[in-house]
Every structure is written in C-alpha cells, then in structure tokens.
Amino acid sequence: MPEGCDSREPCGMSYQQLGKLADEAVMAHLVAGHGDAVAVLLDRYVRLVTSIAYKIIHDQAESEDVAQDVFVDLCRTAQQFDAAKGSAKMWIIRTAYRRSLTRRRNLKTRDAHFHSGLDDVLDLPHGTNRGMPLKLSSYECRRLVCQILGKLDTQQRVVIELVFFDGLTLRDVATKTGATLESVRHRYYRSIDKLRHLIYAERSGAVARRETLDAQA
C-alpha cells in the first residue's frame, strides 16, 4: 500500500497531489482504492487511447466508447500491473490496442449479421426494379430499418433490434428476454414479414415520387 494510506481513507491525497506523481505511483494509489487515481490517468492518456482506437476502428463514437472501456478495465486489472515488466503507459497502450481490436472484430460480426438479416427482410434478387437498385447502401439500410421499427409492436421490435443491431441469434434472444425460443422465432418471422411489406411500400412510394418528378421535368 502506498505511503500515507490507511484503512479509513485510501491514500489521503487530493487529485492535485496525485497529479504530481509518476504514472507508476498513481497506479499504486489506484490499487489502494483511491478513485481519483484513475481520473489522473484518464486525463493523461484519454486522447492517446482514443487516437489508437480511432486508427483501428475509424469511428469516433466507437473510439470514445473503447477509451471509456479501457479506463474501466484499468480499475479492474490494476492489481495485475507490474512496473518491473513495463511502464504504466505501455500497460494502458496495450489495453487500448486489445480493446480496439476486439471492438473492430465485434463490429464486423455485427455488421455482417445485420446485412444477413436485411437479406432476409428484402429477400430480393440482385438487379433493379423499375429503375431502382434493390441493394441499398449500409447507411440507407440502417436508416430505413430505424424508420420503420416504430411500426412494429414492442415485442417484435425488441427481437429485431437484438438480432439486427446486437448481432444475437434467436436462441440468444430467448435467453436474454426469458421468452421461449418458439415465441421468439414466431415474433422474428412475423416481424420480418411485416418489415418486408413496409420496405416494399416505402420503395414503391419512392419510385412513384421519382416518376412524378421525371414527368414534371
């Protein structure tokens, strides 16, 4: 335990006093339970961690989430830190890389699952329909699905969101929600059918609007 700590108050040092210490000393105070210690390390390295995450993920919001996870993780794993094996800065950097790579892998899996789900919804062959491409961009798919999710009932919407946006399987959804697999499967396919009809209606409306504009031109 760092000098000056006791069982009643971890360390007895202010944030400003901790801020004057070297990283390794701050880590020791973190292990002792001083909450301000992680705030000191966050102030020193949050921009670096976010920068590392952004280089790997290429998404600012996701990078900021990773940075938050890194410092939460730091609180949990601080006791494993050994200054003899490397600096606190390198410990944080390694955690940032590990977390970022994991997040990138999860995002790829989620996006792949998302598009697979959309293929189920659209259930359309490659090609065009009255001049409109059947395959939408990732942004268009997400925007369209978000727009029409509000037209589903609550139970159907929960299933679709967990499958499309969280990448869960139907069995995972059943476990998470406490519903039976049969009922989850029923809600999913009912939702898919409803979404398909809503998407067809939206697309038909877009085609009609475009043809009206072309006729007026």
Kindly state the percentage of the chain with pLDDT values over 90. Answer: 21
Shared domain for 208 and 127, answered yes or no, is yes
Torsion 209-210-214-217 (CA) sign: positive
Q: What is the mean pLDDT of residues 34-60?
A: 90
Which of 127 and 60 is assigned the larger pLDDT?
A: 60
Chain center to CA of 2: 37
Q: For residues 137 and 143, what is the distance between their CA atoms, to the nearest angstrom?
A: 10
| Statement: residue 97 has pLDDT above 70 | yes
Report the predicted TM-score, pTM, of the whole model to 2 decimal places.
Answer: 0.51
Type of residue numbered 21: L
Q: What is the DSSP string of 82-145?
A: -GGGS-HHHHHHHHHHHHHHHHHHHHHHHHHHHHHHHHHHH---SSEETTEESSPPHHHHHHHH
Q: What is the mean pLDDT of residues 14-28?
A: 89
Shared domain for 91 and 175, answered yes or no, is no
> Domain containing 88: what range?
15-106
Tokens (6 digits) for 84: 């003899």
pLDDT score recorded for residue 141: 59
Q: Answer whether 100's CB lies under 8 Å from 66's CB.
A: yes
Residue 9 lies in a domain: no
pLDDT score recorded for residue 138: 53
**CB-count burial class (<10 Å; 0-12, 13-18, 19+) for 163:** buried
Shared domain for 93 and 141, answered yes or no, is no
- Which element (helix H / strand E) includes 78? none
The stretches of 123-180 forming alpha helices (DSSP H) are 138-149, 154-164, 170-177
Query: Which residue in the block uniquely carries the two structure tokens 């792949």?
Result: 112
Length of the chain measured in residues: 217
DSSP letter at 134 equals S
Shared domain for 141 and 73, answered yes or no, is no
Confidence of residue 215 (pLDDT cuts 50, 70, 90): low
Choose the final residue of a domain: 106, 137, 158.
106
